[in-house]
Chains A and B, each alone.
Chain A
Amino acid sequence: MTETTKITIDDAVLVDMCRRGDSAAMERLILKYQNRIYNTILKICANTEDAAELTQDTFVKVIENIDKFEGRSGFYTWAFRIAVNLTLNYCKRNVQLGFRSLETSDDEHDEQGKIALKEFLTDESSPDPAAVVVNKELAEIAVKALMKLDDWQRAVIVLRDIEGMDYAQIADVLGIEHGTVKSRLSRARSALREILEAVIQ
C-alpha cells in the first residue's frame, strides 16, 4: 500500500468526529470531496442530474456507514469505492448510456471538433496542455469518446486520467488486482485512441 492510500490525519480526525455525531465534521468531509466525487461520477455516467443524485446517495451511504469504516484504506479511497460502485450499478441499469454516438451531436460543432482533434492527433510535436484545456471542442469530443468505452474501461481511465489516482488506489477502489488495472487501462487507452481515430476519418 502506498503512502497515498493511508488515511490522512485530517480525514482521520474528521471521520472520528463524524462518528461521534459532529455534524460540522460531517459537513467538512462532504465539502472536501463532493466536487471530486461528483466529477468522477459525471464522467462515468455522463448525466448531470443522475450524477448529482448518485453523489448525494454516495454521501448518504458514507455517513450512514461511517461506523463500519475501519481505516485500512484511505477515507478518500473508501468514499470513491462507494461512489464508483453506485455509478457502475447505475450504468448497468442504463446500458444505453454506453452506446451514445458522437454522430448524434450537432454536426457543425462536430466538424469544428473534428478539425481540432485532427490537428491535435497529427501534430508530431508535443502539444501544449494549456492550449488543450481551453479547447472546448476537444473536451466535448473527449467526453463523447469516453462514453463509447465500456463501463469498466471508462471507470479505470476516469480514475487514472481525471481523478489522478495511482494504480494501487484504482485497484482498491475497483476491488481488482494491480495487474488488472494495468491491462484494463492499456486496453481503455487503445480503445479510446481507436475511437478518436475513427472520428477524424
Chain B
Amino acid sequence: MKDNLNIDELLNGFIDGELTQRQLSEVNRLVAHDPDIAKRLQELKKCKLLLGSMPCAESPADMLEDIKLALERRVLLGHFAGRERLNGARHLLYRKMLSAAAMLTLVAALLGVVFYIIAGTGNAEKQFADEDLFKPIAKVELAKPAAAKKAAPQAIADAAGGFTGRLELKTNAPVAVNAVIVRAIAENSFLEYGSPDAQIADGIYVLNCSRRELSSILADLENIWTKFDSTALFIETGQTENQVAVKPVTAQQIIEIASQNNLSGQIALAKDFAALNDITGHLPGKEVLAAIDNKKPDFMTIPKPVLTSGEKTVKKSAANANEEKDVHLTIVVISGS
C-alpha cells in the first residue's frame, strides 16, 4: 500500500513536472517495464486532463463595483465605529476618573477619621494643644505625667538639703493601687487625708513631708511594688529640661536618694542607681537571684493604728511636727501596661 502510494506520488509528480532528473528517469524506466504502472499513469493523466478541461468561470461583471462599494461601506462603518469607540473610550475614561476621585475622597475622609481618632487620644494632644479642637479634657490631663508637672509645686526644694521629685507608677490595677496609696496616706498619723500636706487629686498625690514620713509611706507601698508594671523617679534639678530619671526604681532607692543632703548628691546617687538597675535588668537569671537574695529593705516600719470608730485620724505628734518638711514628692499613678 505504501509502495503504491509512493509510486502514485511519483507518477503525480511526473505528470505535474515536479520530479528531479533522477526521479524522471526512474518513472520512465518503471513505465517502460511495468504495464500496470503505465496504465496507472494514464489514469492519472486523464484525471488531470478532465479537471483541466473544466471551463474557467468568469467573475460577475459588477464584481469590481461591488468590491469598491463594499470597501466604501467598510470604511464608513469603520469611521463611525471608530467615532463611537472614541466616544465610548472618552465616556469610560470620564467614569474611571470620577470613580478614582470618589475613591480618593473616601480614602482621605477615612484617613481623616482615623487620624482624628488616633490624634485625639495620643501624642497629637500635645502637638495641637493650642488648637481649641484638640484641647484635652481636664480629667485626662490630670492622669498624665505632663499634667503632673503642672500640678507639681513650682518651688524646687532647697538645694541645701531638700528633695523634689516625681514618682511615676504604671500599673494595670490603678483602682487597687490608688486605694492602697490613699490608705497609706490616711493611716500614717503624721499626714491627714485632705490636709494641705497631702494634696490628693485623681491618681496624683503631692506629698510635702519629711524624709522619715516619706520612708513610712514608701514602706507601705513596698508591699504592692510588684503590682507596678514600671516605676520611674524623676528628680527636679531646677532646670525644666534637665530632669534626672531612675527607671526602674525601688522604694529603697527612692529613700536613699531622698536622704542625700544636697541635690548633687541626690543626682550622683540617682545616676549610680540608674546604671546599676540597667545592668541588673540585663543580667541573665535575675529573677532567680532576686528570689535567692530574699533580703528585705531596711525600712522603718511604723505601727499603724486601726480606726474602729468614726474618729478622725490623730494629727502627727509634736516631735514629728518639728521635722523639716523638705521632701516634695509627686506620686503619679498611670493606668496601662
Taking CB atoms, residues of chain B closer than 8 Å to A161 are 47-48, 51-52
Query: Which chain B residues (287-334) contact chain A, with CB distance < 8 Å?
Result: none
Q: Knowing A135-B53, A157-B51, A193-B44, say if A56 contacts B74 (CB, 8 Å).
A: no
A92 to B226 CA separation, bound complex (whole angstroms) = 90
A129 to B52 CA separation, bound complex (whole angstroms) = 9
Taking CB atoms, residues of chain B closer than 8 Å to A183 are 5, 9
Comparing B64-72, B114-122, B238-246, the segment that makes contact with chain A is B64-72
Say yes or no: is A13 at the interface (Cβ < 8 Å to chain B). Answer: no
CB-CB nearest 10 A-B residue pairs = A38-B59, A161-B51, A132-B53, A133-B53, A186-B8, A186-B9, A59-B67, A34-B59, A39-B57, A142-B50
Taking CB atoms, residues of chain B closer than 8 Å to A37 are 59
B31 to chain A, nearest CB (A): 13
Nearest chain A residue, comparing its CB with the CB of B15: A189
| A155-172 vs B, Cβ < 8 Å mask (1 yes, 0 no) | 001101110001100000
Taking CB atoms, residues of chain A closer than 8 Å to B272 are none
B34 to chain A, nearest CB (A): 16
Taking CB atoms, residues of chain A closer than 8 Å to B58 are 35, 38-39
Say yes or no: is B13 at the interface (Cβ < 8 Å to chain A). Answer: yes
Say yes or no: is B131 at the interface (Cβ < 8 Å to chain A). Answer: no
Q: Is the CB of B18 within 8 A of A166?
A: yes
Known: A161-B47, A189-B48. 6 other contacts (CB 8 A): A38-B58, A48-B57, A51-B57, A52-B59, A63-B67, A189-B12
Give the most central of B8, B46, B51, B55: most A CB within 10 Å.
B51
B284 to chain A, nearest CB (A): 79
Taking CB atoms, residues of chain B closer than 8 Å to A52 are 59-60, 63, 66
A104 to B71 CA separation, bound complex (whole angstroms) = 39
Q: Is the CB of A162 within 8 A of B52?
A: yes
A12 to B329 CA separation, bound complex (whole angstroms) = 105
Say yes or no: is A121 at the interface (Cβ < 8 Å to chain B). Answer: yes
Nearest chain A residue, comparing its CB with the CB of B51: A161
Say yes or no: is B28 at the interface (Cβ < 8 Å to chain A). Answer: no
B73 to chain A, nearest CB (A): 9
A59 to B54 CA separation, bound complex (whole angstroms) = 24
Interface residues contributed by chain A, number (CB under 8 Å): 50
Say yes or no: is A30 at the interface (Cβ < 8 Å to chain B). Answer: yes
Q: Is the CB of A60 within 8 A of B67?
A: yes
Q: Is the CB of B63 within 8 A of A38?
A: yes
Q: Knowing A30-B64, A55-B63, A129-B53, say if A193 contacts B47 (CB, 8 Å).
A: yes
Q: Is the CB of A129 within 8 A of B12?
A: no
Q: Is the CB of B52 within 8 A of A64?
A: no
16 inter-chain pairs at a CB distance below 8 angstroms, sorted by A residue, are A38-B57, A43-B54, A64-B71, A124-B42, A126-B45, A129-B52, A132-B53, A142-B54, A143-B54, A157-B51, A161-B52, A162-B51, A162-B52, A186-B5, A189-B47, A193-B43
A182 to B7 CA separation, bound complex (whole angstroms) = 11
Say yes or no: is A9 at the interface (Cβ < 8 Å to chain B). Answer: no
Query: Which chain A residues (51-87) contact chain B, with CB distance < 8 Å?
Result: 51-52, 55-57, 59-60, 63-64
Say yes or no: is A174 at the interface (Cβ < 8 Å to chain B). Answer: no
Say yes or no: is A127 at the interface (Cβ < 8 Å to chain B). Answer: yes
Q: Is the CB of A56 within 8 A of B66?
A: yes
Taking CB atoms, residues of chain B closer than 8 Å to A138 are 50, 53
Q: Is the CB of A35 within 8 A of B56?
A: yes
A51 to B54 CA separation, bound complex (whole angstroms) = 16
| A116-154 vs B, Cβ < 8 Å mask (1 yes, 0 no) | 000011001011010011010011001100100000000
